[in-house]
């Protein structure tokens, strides 16, 4: 993970406690406020009855990457809305890389786009809206 240790404390702490993403083998490659890159290798338990990656796992990779980007600031944030467009399929053994980019941040709200790729091929486009929450 490429992280400036003075930044992204909330995102780093959140990922360290995220057993769901870690169980899927998701790795954070880059992290900065408003931006994140994460990857995942499609495992045998991630393939559906058509022999292709189950869309829920692609969504989870995109959602985790979105969460890292919007929690890269000094305020905790959660998803207020998210949707995904699947453009093509992937298969067992494929490495998927998701990149989240902040499009807007205003008040307690943020808008983030996440592109999921296999190599140069775009697999899916995800958009998430974030909302900051009080610290617990």
Q: What is the pLDDT of residue 119?
A: 97
124 neighbors 52 (Cβ within 8 angstroms): no
Going along the chain from its start, the domains and CATH numbers come out as 9-132 (3.10.129.10)
Model confidence, pTM? 0.93
- Contacts with 112 (C-beta within 8 Å, 6 or more apart), sequence order: 34, 66, 69, 70, 100, 101, 102, 103, 127, 128, 129, 130
pLDDT in tens, 33-71: 999 999 999 999 999 999 999 999 999 999 999 999 999
């Amino acid at each position: 993970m490429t992280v400036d240790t003075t930044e992204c404390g909330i995102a780093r702490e959140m990922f360290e406690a995220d057993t769901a993403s870690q169980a899927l083998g998701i790795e954070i490659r880059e992290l900065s406020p408003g931006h994140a890159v994460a990857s995942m290798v499609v495992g045998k338990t991630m393939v559906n009855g058509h022999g292709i990656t189950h869309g829920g796992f692609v969504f989870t990779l995109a959602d985790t990457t979105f969460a890292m980007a919007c929690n890269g600031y000094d305020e905790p944030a959660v998803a207020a809305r998210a949707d995904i467009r699947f453009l093509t399929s992937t298969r067992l053994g494929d490495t998927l890389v998701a990149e989240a980019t902040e499009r807007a941040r205003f008040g307690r709200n943020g808008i983030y786009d996440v592109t999921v790729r296999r190599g140069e091929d775009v697999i899916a486009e995800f958009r998430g809206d974030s909302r900051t929450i009080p610290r617990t």
